[in-house]
Amino acid sequence: MKKYSETHEWLEIKDGVAYVGISRHAAQELGEIVFVQLPETGAAVSAGQPACEIESVKAVAEVNSPVDGTVTAVNTALEDAPELLSEDGDAWIFAVEPSSAAAGLMTEEEYKEFLG
């Protein structure tokens, strides 16, 4: 079950690992994604703070981590195929080992309502 942040990231916990991606809405707003600057494995990330950047032709967008923790893996497939983020709603960017429970995230329904 994905949970969403107000800054349009999603978080999905599988086997104790939290995967982070961007919402369909964010991908559509950005347009064709042509570059992902992945975070470093081992980097500390904080909830609501930028963890990495994604770029469309026209713009740069920061991706915030929805949770505190340490980056344990990055999706290197995005290096050669950043467009996966536009095409596949399940494409994750990085995985985090949370150091505290995620807070303030929305369910899919709540997020839809939030978008209005």
Position among 17, 43, 53, 61 found at the interface with other proteins (CB under 8 A): 53
Closer CB to other proteins, residue 35 or residue 114? 35
| 31 lies in the site for other proteins, by CB under 8 A | yes
- String of b and e for 38-47 (b: at least 16 CB within 10 Å)? bbeeebebeb
Strand pairing class (69-74; 44-45) = antiparallel
Phi and psi angles of residue 41, each rounded to the nearest 5 degrees, phi first: -65, 135
| 35 lies in the site for other proteins, by CB under 8 A | yes
Write down the least CB distance from residue 31 to other proteins, Å.
6
Here's the x/- map for other proteins, 69-108, by CB under 8 A: it reads as ----------x-----------------------------
Cα separations in angstroms, 95 against 24, 29, 54, 57, 110: 19, 23, 16, 26, 23
Q: How many residues form the binding site for other proteins (CB under 8 A)? A: 12
Write down the least CB distance from residue 92 to other proteins, Å.
19
Chain centre to alpha carbon of residue 14: 15
* Contacting residues toward other proteins, per CB under 8 A: 31-32, 34-35, 37, 53, 55-58, 60, 79
